[in-house]
Structure 1
Amino acid sequence: MTASTTIRPDQLPAPILGYLAAHMARDADAALRGFASTAVIVDDGTTYRGTDEIRRFLSKAGAEFSYTTDLVGAQRIDGAHWVVTNRLEGDFPGGVVDLRYRFAMDGDLIAELVIAP
């Protein structure tokens, strides 16, 4: 098992940085650019596969709430796996949550994203 390494956020791969910036700006099309056409996102127990399902997810994710997002941690697991921790604060139930965004890369594209507390 490979040990993770804490990194500065600017050391994340460009597609991950692009996704994070676009998602915070609620720009689904820009967020989608970093994903492979066969990518998978798992969030809140639901799996979204491929470009169309991921676009729908990105367009709706969190839209019913107002919240801020702060990147509070980043880790490199190995050359293809990265974890980003974001703290969300807003008017959703509980008001504050730290979410781990686990990315799996396939070359220069995101192949999988699992979002979980």
Structure 2
Amino acid sequence: MELPKLIERFVATQNNFDSKAFVECFMDTAIVHDEGKTYTGKEEIRQWIEDANEKYQTVTKPLNYEEVGSEGTLTAEVSGTFTGSPIVLQFHLGLKNNLIDSFRVTG
């Protein structure tokens, strides 16, 4: 499956556990919603992804990607060191200026 460059970079940096490169996929004012918590701005997002990488060591395998206007939805198989692995999740992305403006994970 061919993904837009931003989404391809987002997946690659996650799978390489590269939190610095991962956060560069996001706008400075981006908002992330995951596991009932909200993270705002690159520093909070970097801390969130570093904690998640340490706890879960997730690897993301894209299954489908759809984009309508400024909204993208990545459906992926996510595996890692968490109960129920692997699981199929959806990543809902708000896109702006070729960066991620908002990010929400659903099961």
Superposed pair shares fold, TM > 0.5:
yes
Number of residue equivalences:
107
**Higher gyration radius (CA):** 1
From the two aligned structures, give the one with the greater helix fraction.
2
- Give the direction of change, closer, same or farther, for the CA distance of 1:16–1:100 in structure 2 (3 Å limit): same
* Equivalent in 2, 12, 16 of residue 21 of structure 1: 12
* Equivalent in 31, 41, 65 of residue 40 of structure 1: 31
Is 1:83 equivalent to 2:73 in the alignment?
yes
Q: CA RMSD in A?
A: 1.6
Partner letter of residue 51 of structure 1? K
Is 1:103 equivalent to 2:93 in the alignment?
yes
Q: Give the Å deviation of 1:67.
A: 4.8
Distance, in Å, in 2 between the alignment partners of 1:44 and 1:99 is 12
**TM-score between both structures, scaled by the size of structure 2:** 0.88
Deviations 1:31-77 (A, max 9, x none): 1111110000111111100111001011111422355432111111x
Q: Which deviates further from its counterpart, 29-38 or 93-102?
A: 93-102
**TM-score between both structures, scaled by the size of structure 1:** 0.81
Identity of aligned residues (%): 23
Q: Specify the SS of the correspondent of 1:100.
A: strand
Moved over 4 A (4+): none
Note if contact 2:78-2:87 (Cα within 8 Å) is conserved in structure 1.
yes
Distance, in Å, in 1 between the alignment partners of 2:99 and 2:106 is 21
Question: Structure 2: where are the runs of 5+ without partners?
Answer: none
